[in-house]
Amino acid sequence: MENITTHLKTILKWSPIRLTIKDGGIFLDGWKTGQPDKQAAAFVYYPGETGRVYGAYYNGRQIFHFGVNASQIHPAIQVWTKRFLPPSAVISHTKERSAGDPRSFRRAPVLPKRPYRSDKDQLRQVAASIWDPSIVNYWNMNTAVGNILATVTVEILKCSEQYAKVPLLNNLLNPVLKPRWEDRWKLVAQYFKQIIFENYKISQQEKRYQTCIYATAVNWRSPIEMASAGI
Are residues 75 and 36 part of one domain?
yes
Decide if 109 is inside a domain: no
Domain boundary among 28, 57, 92: 92
Domain boundary among 92, 109, 134: 92
In the chain, what percentage of residues exceed pLDDT 70? Answer: 71
Per residue in 143-169, pLDDT (tens digit) is: 999 999 999 998 998 888 766 555 666
Are residues 123 and 27 part of one domain?
no
Are residues 86 and 152 part of one domain?
no
Decide if 205 is inside a domain: yes
Are residues 219 and 163 part of one domain?
yes
CA distance 81 to 125: 24
Residue 48 is part of which domain span? Answer: 4-92
Peptide bond into 75 cis (omega under 30): no
First-residue to last-residue Cα distance in the chain: 27
Which pLDDT score, from 0 to 100, does residue 168 have? 62
Q: How many domains does the chain have?
A: 2
pTM of the model: 0.80
Are residues 224 and 122 part of one domain?
yes
Decide if 72 is inside a domain: yes
Name the CA radius of gyration of the chain, rounded.
18
Distances (CA, A) of 37 to 56, 61, 157, 175, 205: 14, 11, 25, 29, 24
**Band of residue 2 on the pLDDT scale cut at 50, 70, 90:** very low
Are residues 81 and 14 part of one domain?
yes
CA distance 186 to 122: 10
Are residues 216 and 176 part of one domain?
yes
173 exposed, middle or buried (CB, 10 Å; 0-12, 13-18, 19+)?
Answer: buried
Instruction: Return the ∠ at Cα 217 (arms to 191 and 182), rounded to 5°.
Output: 45
Per residue in 69-124, pLDDT (tens digit) is: 666 789 999 999 999 866 556 666 654 343 344 344 445 444 445 688 889 999 99
Per residue in 10-25, pLDDT (tens digit) is: 668 889 999 999 999 9
Are residues 223 and 143 part of one domain?
yes
> DSSP readout, 124-188?
HHHHHTTS-HHHHTT----HHHHHHHHHHHHHHHHHTTTT---HHHHHHH-TTTSTT---THHHH
CA count, 13 A, side-chain hemisphere, 47? 8
**Band of residue 142 on the pLDDT scale cut at 50, 70, 90:** very high
